[in-house]
Amino acid sequence: MIEFKNVTKGYDKNKSEALKNVSLFIDKGEFVFLVGRSGAGKSTFIKLLLREIEASEGSVYINNFNVSKLSKKEIPFLRRKMGIVFQDFRLLENKSVYENVAYAMEIIGKSEKQIQKRVPLALDMVGLSHRMNHYPHELSGGEQQRVVIARAIINNPAILICDEPTGNLDPETSYEIISILEEINRRGTTVVVVTHDREIVDNMKKRVLTLEDGVLKVDDATGRYGYEV
């Protein structure tokens, strides 16, 4: 599903490396946490998956396709296979909950009939059917994040990438969001969660990848956080 083969990414002439010879494999249907201090290489990892940047050395594969070899025209099709959940929500303030989720289908040309069928199902899954006509400013932080998740899964992505999805939320709401992600994973979607929330990681007991100064230091299937704060 996701494979890094000896991936190194440098950003400047001094050859400062954000990732250093990283190799890993994430299988279809896995739920994986990616952890590490600020500057450890987590953002670079995500950007490589999305082909926002290219590896300096090594290869990144998604479904056995080398993403570095994709043309510019092919990159949007790669990204359609992935859903993205951001910490800062990035909702369209002038659109309702329903419209925010529907927009993700509209931009790839789905029909109004398909949209009317699938958007209510996605909102029901995240527990927001009763809020579909509300606007982002009328929602709590947890509700806004649920909208982001619904939008991310509306096109049935094979992979869901979550960048600090609980970073702005209280502990109770954070666990609600993680429970939704776990249910999405149970339905077959591969889920990768970047987080600093040690308590959630320790309690979930999922596979944990720990980056340290660009190096994959720990790959622990038992849910060990991997570094001391």
Residue-wise pLDDT for 185-213, tens only, equals 999 999 999 998 889 999 999 999 999 99
pLDDT band at 227; cut points 50, 70, 90: low
Between these two residues, 5 and 227, which has the higher pLDDT value? 5
DSSP letters for 132-197: TTS-GGGS-HHHHHHHHHHHHHTT--SEEEEESTTTTS-HHHHHHHHHHHHHHHHTT-EEEEE---
Share of the chain above pLDDT 90, in %: 77
Taking alpha carbons only, the member of 138, 146, 173 closest to residue 162 is 146
Residue-wise pLDDT for 38-69, tens only, equals 889 999 999 999 999 999 999 999 988 899 88
Domain borders along the chain are: 91-156
Taking every pair of Cα atoms in the chain, the longest distance, rounded to a whole number of angstroms, is 54
62 Cβ contact partners less than 8 Å away, ≥ 6 residues apart: 1, 2, 3, 49, 78, 81, 159
- pTM, whole model, 2 decimals? 0.91
Q: What is the pLDDT of residue 226?
A: 61
Lowest mean pLDDT among 21-25, 81-85, 119-123: 81-85
Share of the chain above pLDDT 70, in %: 96
On the CB side of 159, CA atoms within 13 Å amount to 22
Residue-wise pLDDT for 86-128, tens only, equals 878 889 999 999 999 999 999 999 999 999 999 999 999 999 9
Instruction: Say if residue 16's pLDDT is above 80.
Output: no
Instruction: Say if residue 229's pLDDT is above 60.
Output: no
DSSP letter (8 states) at residue 214? T
